[in-house]
Structure 1
Amino acid sequence: MSPLHVQQLRDETPGCQSGIVHFNHAGASLPSQATLDAIIEQLQREARDGPMEAGEHGAVQVEKARRAAGQLLNAPAASIAFASSGSSAWSLAFQALGPWQPGDRILVGRHEWGGNLASMQVAVQAGARVEVIPCDATGAVCPLALESMIDARVKLIDLTWLPANGGLINPAQAIGEVAKRHGIPYFIDAGQAVGQIPVDVQALHCDVLKSAGRKHVRGPRGTALLYVRPDFLQHLNPAQRDVFSAPWTADGFDLRNDARRFETSEASFALLAGLGNALQEMNQLGIQQVWEKISQTSERIREGLRQIPGITLHDLGTHQSGLIAFNLAGWDAFELKRRLGVQRINIGANGVAYTPWDMQARGLASIARISVSPLNNDEDIERLLTALKALRA
């Protein structure tokens, strides 16, 4: 991706014109003006014609978004559902997998997202056990260790692909191959993957995958996507139903035979119109090109951080994503984030709750997090590194 191409993206993004350097794309990225326009246009239509009356046009936009999401994930459009957040999407699918029985086993990576672990407490209360798959020497989830844990009681394998507290890229495809070989349901939390790295649900062999819209896809807050493998739908019995997810037929209320069984009749057409535009922009840009640019930018930043005394990087794995976890000696991570914010430089900061088992295993109370996007240019990098050098103890 050339500097000219990056500048074009920045010119189309209002947040890049504000003087703020944004390195918190893993928290929420910056939407384009076209994405904002799509949201506003639907809102204006609802205000002008009536919210319900504008629903027909809104429903068309939702289906455009569904097709765009399918294209990005290499999935049929019918296998995509939309939700209000990644956590709610994952929880809906997880709860639909029950009922849980005493002795059921759920196998997860050490880096599992805290929100998913919280949802699993429903299963734990029913007598199921959540067990951690050991890591390999690099700190990634180990497929060989997983293989040795498999027995008839394993009801789910769940993987947080790119953990929130660093640049690790877990071996999602290799884990999927183990799950497929043993016929065990496999869920992937791809909240930090979709829009950052290529995601092919066919190659991953996953049954369920979710991601938020506000992160690397650059969609609005309050949106998320959920992929459900078509042949796996029969194993999912959602507790939440209405006349959209379970339409009335001559035989009563029957669940839809596609992923829309996880949706309801009430949705924000405006937000989904914005998400659809963001997904279309990502497809037009090309996810491989995006990933190459993120890799180049994040490696430059990592190299710059290594030159600053007092900075400790917390990378795991053999290849890293665009999430850069670090600490600066003498600084609390959240206070560092605040101080940089005063200088109009946005970064993230995570506590133990985000990835509790991994943070505890590594003795980390908190980490500061830089997360990059193709929107970031050389000037952004220089401002960030200069500010950190000035703050070192």
Structure 2
Amino acid sequence: MMDIERIRAETPGLKHGIHLLACGSALAPQPVIDAVKHHLDLEAQIGGYEAHKAEDAMLDATYDSVARLIGARRHEIALLENATAAWCQAFYALPLKAGDRVITCQAEYAANYVAYLQRQKRDGIEIDVVPNDESGALDVQALERMITDRTALVTITWVPTNGGLVNPAAEVGAIAKKAGVPFLLDACQAVGQMPVDVEALNCDFLSATGRKFLRGPRGTGFLYIRDSWLQKLEPIMIDHFAAPWVTTDSYALRDDARRFENWENSYALRAGLKVACDYAMALGIEAIEERATMLADTLRARISELEGAKVLDLGAKQCAIVSFTIDGLDPHSTVTALRDKGITIGASSPDSTRLDAEYRNLREMFRAAPHYFNNEADLDALIVALKSQL
């Protein structure tokens, strides 16, 4: 059983208002904040290189903490500055060529889709979009039919930025594995709010961020690369950390996933990421998912009772992201008004998930994401605040 009062006491941001946007950048717990500040203070006292050396064992253990979180091995983990950087390292390293087909989903995130379009323009790849099933999730039977000998990659967003949807990632992974096609999974919104096991998912690559449901610092992310792929891929960009300069005319790529990193990074933020992983694991990811989903389901029901409100979430399984519109309320200006009242939610524009938005004729919508540190009083306050704007 979670001690919610202790968790809330360890979340200093709650003293300044109600935060219901874990899908954007969640409030960090005090231990994460302390870890970042401690390392910054140490750098100020003895210097950056010296602080790194003094804290080397702890910082190196970040790879172990991330690996435990997703059921991987430490040599399969690269630490990057954000989820998009991590995803791009994998995607652009794949040797896709003219005529290769890349399969994705209708709820794909904008950052990923523009990368497909760039490689379509530059390399001549072709993009296949799997239709949704009757629930609004990716249709796994359609996916299986769409795979051909020209399919070079299956790549989807597991939990889209809006829509409440949880795509059937494990089923997608099983189909890709059976077909012998690599599977790149964007788990940016999944990590920290639900169990993630790369073996159960059958993914070859997985990208995620620290700042969302994991409650880590901004400026952190990571990439998982299955061991069997490590020696097959050369990063699109390298430095002498990723590939030591071994003779005057040669380099040697690292054997581990850190070939996708570069030499300079924020060690203070890495310290915070490690603590965020350990904090979530100590609470229990299953317990986190249960509570966050319960709060989101409660919020959907409460919003549905508002005059003119429409909940826009899809899928047989839904997550802790709640998307909705309310007749007469502009999301952008309303979000600003609510922030002035000490309540934080967000707005999502159609260009973040353009395929889904155009298919469903969506306009700008509200986006709220309660997390396990929230309570029902927070939800009540949001409903009252929304009513006051009508």
TM-score normalised to structure 1 length = 0.96
Q: Which residue identity lines up with residue 221 of structure 1 in the other structure?
A: R
Give the aligned partner of residue 385 of structure 2.
387
Partner secondary structure for residue 27 of structure 1: helix
Q: Offset of 1:26 from its aligned partner? A: 0.4
Q: Which residue of 1 aligns with 2:254?
A: 256
Q: Return the letter of the residue paired with 1:342.
A: D
Deviation, 1:162, is 0.5
Structure 1 position 132, deviation (Å) = 0.5
Matches of 1:105 and 1:328, distance apart in 2: 40
Q: Is the 8 A contact 1:246 1:261 kept in 2?
A: yes
User: What SS is found at the alignment partner of 1:26?
Assistant: helix
Counterpart residue identity of residue 387, structure 2? K
**SS in structure 1 opposite 2:37?**
helix
Contact 1:58–1:273 (CA<8 Å) still a contact in 2?
A: no
Instruction: State the alpha-carbon separation in 2 of the partners of residues 341 and 289 from structure 1.
Output: 29
Aligned residue in 1 for 2:324: 326
Report what 2:133 is aligned to: 136
Find the counterpart in structure 2 of residue 70 from structure 1: 67
Q: Which moved more, 1:373-382 or 1:244-253?
A: 244-253
Q: Deviations over 1:25-66 (max 9, x none)?
A: 100001111111111111111111111222223443332211
Check the 8 A contact 1:61/1:269 in 2, yes or no: no
- Separation (CA, whole Å) in 1 of partners of 2:85 and 2:177: 25
Letter in 1 for 2:213: H
* Structure-to-structure mapping, 1:50-65, within 5 angstroms: 50-65=47-62
Q: Say if 1:304 and 1:385, in contact at 8 Å, map to a contact too.
A: yes
Task: Report what 1:189 is aligned to.
Answer: 186
Correspondence for 2:340 among 342, 366, 369 = 342
The aligned amino acid for 1:101 is K
Query: Which of 292, 301, 304 is equivalent to 2:290?
Result: 292
Alignment of 1:72-221 (within 5 A): 72-98=69-95, 100-125=96-121, 126-221=123-218
1:245 corresponds to which of 242, 245, 248: 242
Offset of residue 344 of structure 1: 1.0
State which drifts further: 62-71 or 193-202.
62-71
CA RMSD of aligned residues (A): 1.3
Q: Which sits farther off after the overlay, 114-123 or 258-267?
A: 114-123
Q: In the comparison of the two structures, how many residue pairs are matched?
A: 388
Q: Which residue of 2 aligns with 1:28?
A: 25
The answer to whether the 8 A contact 1:337-1:347 is kept is yes
Shift of 1:249: 3.8
Matched residue type, 2:299: I
Q: Which runs of 5+ in 2 are unaligned?
A: none
Could you tell me how far apart the structure 1 residues matched to 2:232 and 2:183 are? 12
Q: Report the CA distance between 1:339 and its aligned residue.
A: 1.6
Q: Secondary structure at the match of 2:222?
A: strand
Cα deviation, residue 327, structure 1: 0.4
Partner secondary structure for residue 322 of structure 2: strand
CA distance, structure 2, for counterparts of residue 203 and residue 81 of structure 1: 20
* Amino acid in structure 2 at the alignment position of 1:373: H
Aligned to 2:303: 305
Moved more, 44-53 or 360-369: 44-53
CA distance in 1, matches of 2:223, 2:36: 21
CA distance in 2, matches of 1:308, 1:235: 54
Structure-to-structure mapping, 1:273-284, within 5 angstroms: 273-284=271-282
2:281 partner letter: N
Q: In 1, Cα distance between the equivalents of 2:57 and 2:23?
A: 29
- Per-residue CA distance 1:268-317 (angstroms, 9 max, x = gap): 00010011111110111110010011111111111111111111000111
Q: What are the superposed Cα offsets for residues 57-100 of structure 1, whole Å, 9 maximum, x if unpaired?
A: 344333221111111101101111111111111011111112x3
CA distance in 2, matches of 1:368, 1:118: 24
**Deviation of residue 13 (structure 1)?**
1.1
Residues 215-230 of structure 1 aligned to structure 2 (within 5 Å): 215-230=212-227
Give the aligned residue type for 1:167: G
Paired-residue identity, %: 37
Residue 391 of structure 1 and its aligned partner are, at CA, apart by: 2.0
Cα deviation, residue 386, structure 1: 1.1
Tell me what 2:371 maps to.
373
Deviations 1:157-208, CA, capped at 9 Å, x for gaps: 0110010112111000000011000110101100110000111100000001
**Structure 2: which amino acid aligns with 1:130?**
I
Other structure's SS at 1:151 match? coil
Distance 2:58 2:27 in 1: 21
User: Which secondary structure does the structure 2 equivalent of 1:53 belong to?
Assistant: helix
Cα distance change on mapping 1:135 and 1:337 into 2, 3 Å? same
Give secondary structure in 1 for the equivalent of 2:49. Answer: coil
- Work out the CA distance in 2 between the residues paired with 1:181 and 1:94: 21
